[in-house]
């Protein structure tokens, strides 16, 4: 697996684990980002969607679908900006911004790997 694919594969594993936590132990992950645990099926549905996204990332990494890698960089930057916007307008927590910063950093890791591949 090439370096850009590895960055996406690791991020896919991260998403898969995050999704499983949302499905199986939502209070642990939601309390980490200062969101009360809703007693509804939607937290489980969200966990499933996040886990599915993780699966997509893993499969695309295994297939070395480089265009997908660039798309993930764009979305991870947009997500970080969106969560900052939520915080600024008092709809999200600073912990949520910090959590999304992990995804932003992972996106920059992928971006850097793609740039290194392009110049190699």
* pLDDT for res 28: 78
Number of domains the chain is built from: 1
**DSSP string for 37-64:** --SSTHHHHHHHHHHHHHHHHHHHHHTT
* pLDDT for res 49: 96
Q: For residue 67, give its domain range.
A: 3-119
10-residue mean pLDDT profile of the chain (120 residues): values are 94 94 83 75 90 97 96 96 96 91 95 90
* pLDDT for res 32: 75
* pLDDT for res 119: 85
């Amino acid at each position: 697996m090439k370096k850009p694919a590895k960055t996406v594969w690791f991020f896919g594993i991260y998403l898969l684990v995050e999704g499983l936590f949302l499905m199986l132990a939502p209070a642990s992950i939601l309390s980490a980002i200062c969101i009360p645990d809703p007693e509804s099926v939607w937290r489980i549905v969200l966990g499933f969607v996040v886990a599915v996204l993780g699966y997509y990332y893993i499969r695309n990494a295994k297939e070395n679908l480089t265009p997908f890698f660039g798309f993930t960089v764009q979305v991870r930057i947009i997500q970080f900006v969106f969560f900052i916007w939520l915080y600024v307008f008092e709809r999200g927590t600073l912990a949520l911004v910090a959590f999304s910063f992990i995804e932003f950093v992972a996106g920059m890791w992928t971006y850097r790997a793609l740039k290194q591949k392009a110049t190699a």
